[in-house]
Structure 1
Amino acid sequence: MNAPQATPAVPADTAGAPRILSYAEAVREAMAIALESDPAVVLMGEDIGVYGGAFQVTLDLVDRFGPERVMDTPISELGGAGVAVGAALTGLKPIFEFQFSDFAALAMEQIVNQAAKLRYMLGGEASVPVVFRMPAGSGTGAAAQHSQSLEAWFGHVPGLKVVQPSTPEDAKGLLLAALADPDPVVIFEHKLLYKMKGEVPEGHYTTPIGKAAVRREGSDLTIVASSIMVHRALEAAEKLAADGIESEIVDLRSVRPIDHETILASVRKTGRLMVVHEGVKSYGVGAEISAMVSESDAFDFLDAPILRLGGAESPVPYNPDLERAAVPQADTIEAAARRLARGEV
């Protein structure tokens, strides 16, 4: 097994400057920290070794830690996920990467019927500490079978935790938190975010699973968003603010469990709620949040109906213009928020 590479020294002229990494680099760093600190951690997936993964996230990890820790699996999602679940049952902490989240449909037996249920079925005598990494979302022209947002599928299943990091900092912190969790965690990483850069703390830290983040304070309406929609909502919020409409942006971060209290506190404050996600609108995460608010005391604070924005009732198109039209964009979020703020919904 190859020894880990030393971390390069920070040049003197950059000392004290914010530490900037891309989303992909932050995920890679989290995996490297885990591999260095815990011999039970292993990486599994198709082409994650020499090739570096479909989106180059694992890149040099096989050179640093060797093929015994960074393992290429055959082109069989069912088989690879099954090996990861079995490894977790025997004491390892596997991170299994799907090339595209869509391909997890081939491994639903292992994720939903095995990983999610075995702790319950064995009376708590065993746990399944496996992490499934899933590149997700549209915007790359990958068409209907490679562009879906399936977080609501997995959020429906007791026994799974489901997270959607929207920033490089959270991409690292949520992955490290997932590795510390005794239960299976599904991480949806939006493909368009891999090149996004942001501040990332050094060393080991965790971002709590099940805790939302208020990315922008506001008083006129609450926008709950997830993954890339957080950034589109923030872009829309700046344009709304120019016209005196102040939006509070809540980054969901965790689909299961959902941070009810942060959302309810924001709704009580603003009196209006819009939920935005890329997954198809029907039966989506927005429906769950809307129902949760409607069933709480926060319902009495609402001054307008709850508004949901989601993906179109269609497979994701290949045509770039249609692909863009099929999911919420900053301009559609802005227009919907204006209607909500003006009482036009």
Structure 2
Amino acid sequence: MNPFATELLRWFDHHGRKDLPWQHPRDAYRVWLSEIMLQQTQVVTVAGYFQRFVERLPTLRSLAEAHEDDVLALWSGLGYYRRARFLHRAAQLCVEQHHGELPRDLDALVALPGIGRSTAGAILAQAYGMRFPILDGNVKRVLTRYHGIAGDPGTSAIEKQLWLRADEHTPAERTADYTQAIMDLGATVCVRSRPLCPLCPQATRCVAHRDGLTAVLPTAKPGKKIPTRTTAMLVMRDGKGRVLLERRGPQGVWSGLWSLPEAEDAGTAAERARQLANVNETIALPAFTHVFSHYRLDVSPILFDHASPLRALGDKPDLRWCDATAIAGMGLPAPVRTLLAQLLEIPA
């Protein structure tokens, strides 16, 4: 076993995270689910969602058989909903093609929606103890600093170097523990800002620590200004306290989720509302901004109180009048759920 792995495993035995909910039991389904949830989301946020998800859908087969609305409802608040759809579709393909189990083959795993090389390696290493490296964001940061690799880790040339280093350090023994250990090191010690170098088992051999480069490695991506878009969200509430929700289309942000109807701006909101319901009273609610990875969305919510359904729209499957109980169990974008929670006294 190489010195990097030896020191890391020694550190893990004393300081590693061994009580994460997906580690007991550490089977392939739970490892896979946790890896997908942890993409672009921290452990402290994921833990509660993971517990609720596996209580409702404890097996791969139960996920495959679930309705997409139920999957999205369990995912609601985690963001990046494409992950949930890929997870659902991958489970269905496992039932159709792999006897209801995640395959123990790298290429077969990568062929499933939403599973890349690193996620596949994490499943094989942690669930099956097979020797496969991983290269998630935490591991990239550790290896970039340890080896002093300059350049954007997202570029193919730098990523190729990092994969070679990741494979070089991954041991044949205790592969599952090593995989968890290197993720833990990046998440708790070799953090993005102000890494805790005195606590790091690799400090004596780390190039970035030796040369004072921890603040500049990994190399940051070139700055990019994100655009701002605007929308008006229509909160149409009837005399029973129900709100009209609309299922979003298959394309664009929040695709397939239930949300509030929208208009381009406050000026066209009333016209759009009259197409969907009988409306009278109009109240402008406090505006807010929601930030996505690629743009900012300025939202102007408008309350149309004492609205009533239009008979002509009674059979539209993508329009639904919902009370607080129904909304609590639906997959809604996080800012929409927060907005409705303030009006309807439902959990945010």
Q: TM-score range by the shorter chain?
A: under 0.3
Which structure has the highest strand share of the two? 1
TM-score of the pair, normalised by structure 2? 0.25
Q: Which has the higher helix share?
A: 2
Q: Report the structure number with the largest CA radius of gyration.
A: 2
